[in-house]
Structure 1
C-alpha cells in the first residue's frame, strides 16, 4: 500500500476562466474524503479559494501547469500555501474517465502519495529577469526574420551581395545598399569609397553583384524592414540594460558563471535567469543537466535501447550553452574543452560533441555556484582525455590507418 505523505492536500485543475479545486483529507484509517469546489480566475474568487484552503487547514497544493493560466492562481496562493507545479504529462488522467472534477481528484490522489514531481520555479526576482530575457530572445528572432526578408528582396532584385560579402549587413555592404535605395537608377556609381579594409580586394566581384534593379515596391519593403530592424535593436539594448540593473544583487553569481571559458556577460545573465543562483533546488549536477535537456534519454525495452536522443527540454538555456560551448572550444588560453571536443567528435560527430561540451560547462557551473568558487583551470591539467579512436581488433586498426590516408597491404605469412 502506498504511503500517505500529505494527509490534507489539494489538487487544482486549472483553466482560463475557472479552476476546479479538490481537497483530499485522509484519516488515520487511510480513508480519504473529497471536497470539490469551482472558482473563477478573477482575483476575488482566487482569494476566496485561498480562504477556503485555510479554513480546511490545507497548505499543500498541487496544480497542473496549463499555459500561463497557472500564474494568477500561484500569485494568490503563494503566500499561504506550499505549491507544487506539475507538468501535464505527470498528472494525465486515465482515458475515458476524464472530466474537470475527476481531473482535480486524480491530481489530489497522486499528490497525496507524493507521486508528482514538481517543476522548478525560481524566486520572484529571478523570474522577472527571466521574463525580460525570454522576451529578448523573441526580439532577436524578429531581427533575424527582418534580415531574411531584406535578403529575399535583394535576391529577387538581382543584387547578389550575399555571394560576395560574408555579412550583407556589414559596414561596407550597408553603405552600398543605402546608396542603392536612395538612388535606384544610379547603376554605375563609384562604390570604392564605401568599401573598408579587405573589401577593397573584392571590388570586381562587388561590381558584378550589384548589377541589378531594385523596384520601388522592393525598395519600400527593404526600407520598412531596415527601419523595423533598427527599432528592434534599440528594444534589445533597452532590455539588456534593464536586466543588468535587476541582476545587481546577483553580481557575485554572475562573476562566477562568467569565469567559465566561453561564457560572456550576457550568456552568464541568461544562464542565471534560467537556473537561479541556489543549486540546492537540484538534486545533483546530473539532475540539472537533465532538466536543461543535455542528457541522453532513457528509452529501453526488452533489453534494447530504442533512442538516446536528448530531450526537448531547456529551449531557452540549451541554445545559450551550445553557443558558449562553441566559443569555449576556440579559447586558446584553455584547451581542455577543445581536446575533449576533438576526442568525442571523432567517434560521435560534431553535434553530440558540442552537446557534451555544453553539459561539461553546465556541470562546472553547478559545482561552482554550490561552492562559491571561481573557475580553476588547474583542476583540468591532470585530467586524461580518452583517445579518439581505439583499435580493438585487427580490422579496426586497418580501418583507422585507412581513415588517416594510409594504404594497408597485408603481407603473406612466411613459411
Structure 2
C-alpha cells in the first residue's frame, strides 16, 4: 500500500519565482540570485557600466523580480536601469528589510532581501510614473528658488529696518509692484523719502505724509551694499525661475502633444473656474496639460490652482491608481492616524511620515479653501470642523477630503460635482438625526426634559 503523503503545513508558499535581492551601497552593490553566498552572490560597482553589467548578469541568471531597499537615493540610478531592462522592480523601506541574524554583512542582507521578497513579505513603497519622475527635479528646484527668493527679500527688509527705512510697515507685501519699484530705486542710488514715496501706488492705505516719514532712513555704505546685493540675487533667481518654467512647458508640450482631451469636454475652458494667479504661480497653462494627462479637470476643485497641480503632477502624476483605495492614499499622505495596538490597547496613533511636498500642497489647498468668501461645500466643511476642533485640525481634515476627492475623480473619471458634496452633507445630517432619535428612545427623554415646552411658553 502506497504511503500517503502528509502535507507540510509549516512550509511557507513561494509567491515570486526567479527573484534577486540587492543590498544597495554608496560604493558598491551586492546582488544575490540564490542562497549560496559563494556561487549565488556577486558584487558590482556603482558606475553606469557596472549597473548595465549587473542587469546583464541578472538576465543571464533568468531573474524576473528584483527587490531592493530605498537607501538615501543611491538606489534610483539602478532602479532606472533595471526598469528599462524589463525587470519587475520592488523598492521597499529599510525598516522592512531588517536582518535579525546574529552576524550581519552585505552578503547576508542581499540573501535576506531575496528571501523576504520570494515569500511576498516585502511591502513596496510608492514610485511615481515616468513623467512625474522626469519633472520632479524641476518642481523641487522651483520650490527651492521660491524659498531662496523669499529669504533674500527678508534680508532686504532686515537691512532697511536696520537703517529705519520701514518699507515693511508701508506695504503689506514687499514684493508687490510698489515694493519692488522702491527697492529698485534705492539700488539706483535714490534715498530721498519724498521721491521714494511717490513710487508707492496711490491705493496704499497710509497717507503720503506718513509714507514719507516711514521711508526717511539713516543710510550707510554697508546698508546700501547689502540691499543692492540681495536685490541683484533676487532678480537673478526670478530670471532662473522664468527659464525653469519654459523648460517645464517644453516637457509638458512634448509629453501631451500626442494626447487629446476627453471626448466629453473637448473645450478646455468650458466649465473651468478662473484660477487665481499669484506672483509665484507658473505662467504656463498647467491646468490644460493636467486635463490631458489625467483625463479629468482637477482645477475645478476650489483652491486647486496651478501650484497644486504642478506639485501633484511632480509627486504622483498618473500613478495614483497604484493605491488600492482612497483611504490608502490619504494614509500615505499622513492625513489619517496610523493606529498601532497590542493587547487590546492602542499604543500609538502617529501618522505616517511623508517626505514629499505633496501633503503640504494639499494643506495649502485646504487653507485657501478655508479663506474663501464664496460659499461652497468644501468651505462649509472647513468652517464646521474649525468651529468644533480648531483651524489646524480643519486644515488636515479638509486636506484629507480633497485628497479623497482627487483619488475618486482620477480612478472613476468623473468630473468634480459640488452637488455630490452637498448630498453627502445632507446624508450626514440625517444620520445624526437618526442617532439622536435612538438615544431619545433609549434613555426615555421627553420634551419636558429638553425644556421644549418651557421655551414654547416663553414665546
Residue 220 (structure 1) aligns with = 225
Residue 259 (structure 1) aligns with = 300
Say whether 1:126 aligns with 2:126.
no
CA RMSD between the two structures = 2.8
Which of 66, 77, 96 matches 2:82? 77
Q: Provide the TM-score with structure 1 as the length reference.
A: 0.84
**RCO comparison, higher one (Cα < 8 Å, 6+):** 1
Q: What is the CA distance between 1:182 and its match in structure 2?
A: 3.4
Distance 1:300 1:207, change over 3 A: farther
Residue 23 (structure 1) aligns with = 33
Q: What is the aligned residue count?
A: 385
Q: What is the CA distance between 1:340 and its match in structure 2?
A: 1.1
Cα distance between partner residues in 2 of 1:234 and 1:192: 27
Say whether 1:48 aligns with 2:58.
no
Q: How do 1:157-168 and structure 2 match up within 5 A?
A: 157-168=163-174
Q: What is the CA distance between 1:109 and its match in structure 2?
A: 1.9
Residue 327 (structure 1) aligns with = 368
Distance 1:257 1:95, change over 3 A: farther
Check conservation: 1:292, 1:313, Cα contact below 8 A: yes
Say whether 1:378 aligns with 2:449.
no
Check conservation: 2:362, 2:403, Cα contact below 8 A: yes
Residue deviations 1:302-348 (CA, integer Å, cap 9, x gap): 54445544333153111111111122234455521111112211222
Residue 208 (structure 1) aligns with = 213
Check conservation: 1:164, 1:202, Cα contact below 8 A: no
Distance 1:293 1:178, change over 3 A: same
Q: What is the CA distance between 1:200 and its match in structure 2?
A: 5.7
Cα distance between partner residues in 1 of 2:368 and 2:41: 54
Distance 1:84 1:162, change over 3 A: same
Residue 176 (structure 1) aligns with = 182
Distance 1:251 1:383, change over 3 A: closer
SS at match of 2:32: strand
Q: What is the CA distance between 1:301 and its match in structure 2?
A: 4.6
Distance 1:153 1:188, change over 3 A: closer
Residue 242 (structure 1) aligns with = 247
Distance 1:176 1:7, change over 3 A: closer
Distance 1:204 1:263, change over 3 A: same
Cα distance between partner residues in 1 of 2:319 and 2:355: 18
Check conservation: 1:18, 1:40, Cα contact below 8 A: yes
Cα distance between partner residues in 2 of 1:285 and 1:54: 37
Q: How do 1:294-313 and structure 2 match up within 5 A?
A: 294-313=335-354
Say whether 1:358 aligns with 2:364.
no
Cα distance between partner residues in 1 of 2:332 and 2:162: 44
Cα distance between partner residues in 2 of 1:224 and 1:158: 19
Cα distance between partner residues in 2 of 1:384 and 1:123: 35
Residue deviations 1:212-259 (CA, integer Å, cap 9, x gap): 223222221221211111121122222223323323425422752212
Q: What is the CA distance between 1:34 and its match in structure 2?
A: 7.2
Q: Provide the TM-score with structure 2 as the length reference.
A: 0.76
SS at match of 2:393: helix
Check conservation: 1:321, 1:362, Cα contact below 8 A: yes
Segments of structure 2 that go 5 or more residues without pairing to the other structure are: 1-9, 257-289, 440-459
Cα distance between partner residues in 2 of 1:192 and 1:383: 53
Cα distance between partner residues in 2 of 1:383 and 1:45: 56
SS at match of 1:7: coil
Residue 270 (structure 1) aligns with = 311
Segments of structure 1 that go 5 or more residues without pairing to the other structure are: 27-31, 394-415
SS at match of 1:20: strand
Which of 384, 408, 413 matches 1:367? 408
Check conservation: 2:156, 2:227, Cα contact below 8 A: yes
Residue deviations 1:143-169 (CA, integer Å, cap 9, x gap): 122122212212222222223321122
Residue 347 (structure 1) aligns with = 388
Check conservation: 2:376, 2:418, Cα contact below 8 A: no
Residue deviations 1:266-300 (CA, integer Å, cap 9, x gap): 32132122222243311111111122222222244
